[in-house]
Structure 1
């Protein structure tokens, strides 16, 4: 057999990874596509909507459809766009600093979200820990029970809490029947009802990342600590909790970020006196029809949420580099 024939046979039997040319180019294209798709997702579903909202926040209120005068309009060409750029006004942002209502709404939203996040962590951590230490055969069932509330509409679940917490609701009827209280408790339309609603609604978002961290943990470290005379409580705080910090951080972010802008739960369970930025946004958009001011409120809310997360990620990256 000629050497050329042997070379052709070896090339045909070679694995796809060893073949030069078209296969290697296809693999590189797939790798780039995997990176490009998330960036395109962020571009179309985050950056573009944010740019539109920011553009509206620079406009002025008008009695029209839509109810504002367009800013940065390209209809007059590039020169008209440059002239409009020179005349941009940040009056809506200045207005937010002059009206204390928006400041109190931001502070109230952040404080309610922070307290709710801590309460959700206190409730969710023992549940996730119990799921991680449960027998392997029971874990899929426990996970399904955690995810089960998502099978029902979020709005229906919040309305169900109205039936539970109202003065003649199920909770008061139960407490009265067993003699714990002598008159109905006023829970609905209070901050307590808001905390209950947020903790209940966002509890799975806390449990799932916690369970993912605790389930991967090497529990032989706990046994070694016990063999060395470490009490169970000290072993938890020195071994279990530090190893589960990635899940704690992820769960807290998944709860805190949407809770800051929550609208349905404060509106239904907190009543008309509850001041949160989600209700303020709704009132500005639909009641006052002031789209520029409401867009400015939304932009500032987004910055309040994003800037600390960016700084936290940078600090975490520096800590990881120092630990190497």
Structure 2
């Protein structure tokens, strides 16, 4: 009996170590490397790296001396905020990223909640079909889906949306639907909507129907029942869906680059420019580190909110 308990405890230990090993291998170690690059100079940050043993005897290893120039640049931009004529390219990209990510999350919630609610209240056969339709876009390449939106939103008469508007007589000339913030927002909402629907569905499908029946028996109208019963009990799904949409949307690169045409500057594009054409790896790494640290705060707050909501229930 003791031997069985020993192996059971060991098995639980190793199973519990698997997520920690995954986090160490695919998050902690890459993040440590990016942090090291952010504290280097451009000459030492770009590989191939010079091993210490091939350097001249007695030479001070320059890559062991932290260089905070990239972080000072971000700090100087923050201090210059509100100053006319100041070069705030990184803060501007951050602002665009946060704004578009917040709008994407809000629109995905407004569109996805009714859809998830309808799926959760559907019959079993229809529910499976609707869930398949939600996941159907994942069967095709993400890049192909973005290119498809470029065809739909083409600003010429060949664009499908403009062609329909012209045929219906709603406009006299093709609209500029592509290469602007609106096109980027449409593409991001379309791409991230399933990440909002699925957590909401998983939460709403487990909702106790007896609570809704009790509210109706007490004279509550359907809208009152939704606001006072259904919506509060679905907070965990709202929090989970918002995290799954907002966090990747902040660092989105492909959609702003293709649908925005370079006119919509987001932080992902700035990081790409610094790693690519500008060859300023420390600056790109510093922006990435700062982005991770800034995003940790809402994650912790949302986690605490979800835990408090669970305790209240």
**Once superposed, what is the RMSD of the aligned Cα atoms?**
2.5
The structure with the largest alpha-carbon Rg is 1
1:205–1:251 CA contact under 8 A, matched in 2: yes
Separation of aligned partners in 1, 2:26 and 2:176: 42
- 2:102 is aligned with 1:114: yes
Separation of aligned partners in 2, 1:103 and 1:305: 15
Match for residue 227 of structure 1?
217
2:44–2:63 CA contact under 8 A, matched in 1: no
Match for residue 27 of structure 1?
8
Q: CA deviation at 1:180?
A: 2.2
1:74–1:81 CA contact under 8 A, matched in 2: no
Q: CA deviation at 1:86?
A: 7.7
Runs of 4+ in 1 over 3 A off after TM superposition: 73-76, 80-87, 314-321
Match for residue 6 of structure 1?
none
Q: 1:106 to 1:173 in 2, by over 3 A?
A: same
Match for residue 7 of structure 1?
none
Q: 1:64 to 1:46 in 2, by over 3 A?
A: closer
Q: 1:319 to 1:159 in 2, by over 3 A?
A: closer
Q: 1:25 to 1:219 in 2, by over 3 A?
A: same
Separation of aligned partners in 2, 1:61 and 1:85: 11
Q: CA deviation at 1:159?
A: 0.2
Separation of aligned partners in 2, 1:191 and 1:201: 15
Match for residue 164 of structure 1?
152
Alpha-carbon displacement from aligned partner over 1:184-217 (angstroms, at most 9, x marks no partner): 1211011110111001001110000000011000
TM-score (ref. length: structure 2): 0.89
Match for residue 75 of structure 2?
97
Match for residue 56 of structure 1?
37
Alpha-carbon displacement from aligned partner over 1:15-36 (angstroms, at most 9, x marks no partner): xxxx332x22221111011110
What is the aligned counterpart of 2:202 among 212, 223, 231?
212
Separation of aligned partners in 1, 2:11 and 2:263: 54
1:128–1:207 CA contact under 8 A, matched in 2: yes
Separation of aligned partners in 2, 1:56 and 1:26: 43
Q: Which segments of 5 or more consecutive residues in structure 1 lack a partner in the other structure?
A: 1-18
1:113–1:256 CA contact under 8 A, matched in 2: yes
Deviates more, 1:111-120 or 1:166-175: 166-175
Q: Secondary structure at the match of 1:138?
A: helix
Q: Secondary structure at the match of 1:59?
A: coil
Alpha-carbon displacement from aligned partner over 1:70-102 (angstroms, at most 9, x marks no partner): 7xx7659xxx99986983221110012334111
2:37–2:45 CA contact under 8 A, matched in 1: no
Q: Secondary structure at the match of 2:124?
A: coil
2:116–2:201 CA contact under 8 A, matched in 1: yes
The size of the alignment, in residue pairs, is 299
2:94–2:266 CA contact under 8 A, matched in 1: yes
1:281–1:297 CA contact under 8 A, matched in 2: yes
Q: Secondary structure at the match of 2:125?
A: coil
1:202–1:255 CA contact under 8 A, matched in 2: yes
Q: Secondary structure at the match of 2:258?
A: helix
